[in-house]
Structure 1
């Protein structure tokens, strides 16, 4: 999904160094796109996450790598000014998506009698500290409820494509951001702790929370082309251009690639539903689609149904 070239990017909504300052080893709640996928692989399947690449494919800052040592006000992201920059640079695309998601939920949540507090995203290269512990691309993108921030190493998108077979399309990446902010919405609504109830299995609390975040990402996608930001000419313009069929396929590809069954089949050659924590590929696609087609937060209730698979 492409951004309108003349929408302005607000880099103050991101930082390039850890803001939490927590000690390593804390618990990450509301994990990322597969939510701490690689850590789960290591813990459940006996694979050492340290053997996985920390910067697959190499690359330079101009190709989307975030330079370390930036400042909390986003000044290290000076290359990200407009939607045109977001359309050609992974880092700028993530920042513009953060802008869009924050703007959407700030407008949407009051309709459900809740005020939205914008969450900041910390972009880093290699690793950094959150209040929930160490963030790295071996852990994957995640939301930390202790400091109310999202953590993303942009090079993780390369892992998602090369290791898990996801599309490299724009909405596949934007889906990651929207999913993490889905966890922020759950935190605001007081639902995030449900992930700790019966934490494994295909209808566990963890799976239900992750599928809800997928659905909330779909709700954002439904409204994304109507959500407006400031234009370079001083007016307002929608952040994103209308979605295409390919855009939706890209998002569904990302959702499918991080299904528990897909990851288990790839890493251990068999599927063990009793250990699922995020849901099957089919369920992740279905709940994203539910959010996208309805555009209604109320349709994302994954806690009430007898089964979510």
Structure 2
């Protein structure tokens, strides 16, 4: 993956803290600490309560649990004005991912409302509650913000067996923005209203696989937009993203951490399912083909 040095970057899309609404809404896409990963999987629900829940697969949410702070721009990104700045300040790549993903959705989704990306270290106050760096990337619908600690990509993702790299980072960020799309379209609220369910064919798994598919459609867009912020995406980048998707499959994490695979507890899909839907998004380039809620063969993917 290469960046266009002449492309303009907009650092105002990066936030420096939690969102402005009060919490209690389920957060989607959060990971867990290495300890909790024995029981839970990456990209789970409600980071504010995940570690405290006796059963991380059925974490409850409580209205008004934590107030969010005002989302301010992160000053570390203030100098990220063009793609060329990434060579001098690698942190600018997060601006590039965010700008490119939002440019894509602004074109394909009528009424798209931009979200913020917050890169934090240690802990952060969000509209969904307090989150620590032990948690992986997540999206909070209460403040419409994507959160992640960049150490996740350096420490936790490799421990899950992923090769990592720029394309893996971009896939994870795009997956979280897929949850933002689901929030805007109402699909997220529909799934959450059905309660916490698990299993390879569950609504929760379908939600996560759709977000994977949405990430794939953005990768396809970036690969075919030579004048965009992402200058080049090649087949190797796709394989890197697919490798990351495989590493965060429920079955892979369960087998790695416990030696057992328990399909009835899946909340995000198997490695095969995640690879399939990410690749489906890439191969079609069409969000309308991310039909995970209509598919009747998820258990075989």
Fold similarity call, TM over 0.5: yes
Q: SS state of the match for residue 18, structure 1?
A: coil
CA contact (8 A) 1:9 1:81 kept: yes
Counterpart for residue 55 of structure 1 = none
Tell me which moved more, 80-89 or 262-271: 80-89
Aligned to 2:176: 180
8 A contact 2:247–2:253 mirrored in 1? yes
- The range that moved more, 130-139 or 142-151, is 130-139
Partner of 2:134, secondary structure, is: coil
Q: With structure 2 as the length reference, what TM-score do the two structures score?
A: 0.82
Aligned to 1:253: 243
Of residues 94, 107, 132 in structure 2, which corresponds to 1:136? 132
* Counterpart secondary structure, 1:157: helix
State the match for 2:106 in structure 1. Answer: 106
Q: Give the deviation of 1:74 after TM superposition.
A: 3.2
Q: Which residue of 2 aligns with 1:124?
A: 120
Q: Where in structure 1 do 4 or more consecutive aligned residues deviate above 6 Å?
A: none
Return the match for 2:205 from 204, 207, 210: 207
Alignment of 1:234-253 (within 5 A): 237-253=227-243
Structure 2 gaps, min length 5? 42-49, 53-70
Structure 2 Cα separation of the partners of residues 194 and 91 of structure 1: 35
- Give the counterpart of 1:293 among 283, 296, 300: 283
Which residue does the alignment assign to 1:165? 161
- Could you tell me how far 1:304 is from its partner in structure 2? 1.3
| 8 A Cα contact 1:87 1:93, kept in partner | no
Residues 44 and 171 (structure 1), Cα distance of their counterparts in 2 relative to 1, 3 Å cut: closer
Q: How does 1:27-46 map to 2 (within 5 A)?
A: 28-32=26-30, 35-36=31-32, 41=37, 44=40
Shift of 1:18: 2.2
Q: 1:151 to 1:140 in 2, by over 3 A?
A: same
Distance in 1, Cα, partners of 2:249 & 2:89: 27
Q: Which residue of 2 aligns with 1:83?
A: 83
Once the two structures are superposed, residues 51-76 of structure 1 have per-residue CA deviations (whole angstroms, 9 ceiling, x without a partner) of xxxxxxxxxxxxxxxxxxxx813333
CA-to-aligned-CA distance 1:260-289 (integer Å, 9 cap, x gap): 011101111111000000001111011000
Evaluate the alpha carbon distance shift between residue 289 and residue 177 of structure 1 in structure 2; reply closer, same or farther with a 3 A threshold. same
2:279 aligned counterpart, secondary structure: helix
CA offsets, 1:75-107, max 9 Å, x none?
Answer: 332343322333675532121100001111001
C-alpha distance after superposition, 1:164-205 (max 9, x if no partner):
121222110000110000001111111012433362111111
Cα distance in 2 between the residues matched to 1:268 and 1:90: 36
Deviation, structure 1 residue 20: 4.2
Instruction: Give 1:62-81 correspondences, 5 Å limit.
Output: 72-81=72-81
Q: TM-score, normalised by structure 1?
A: 0.80
SS in structure 2 of the partner of residue 200 of structure 1 = coil
> 1:225: how far off?
3.8
C-alpha change, 1:154 and 1:168, in structure 2 (3 Å) is same
Q: CA RMSD in A?
A: 2.6
In 2, Cα distance between the equivalents of 1:142 and 1:107?
24
Q: Which stretch has the larger CA shift, 169-178 or 185-194? A: 185-194
Residue of structure 1 equivalent to 2:222: 224
For residues 161 and 40 of structure 1, do their structure 2 counterparts lie closer, same or farther at Cα, with a shift above 3 Å needed? closer
What's the offset of the Cα at 1:37? 7.1
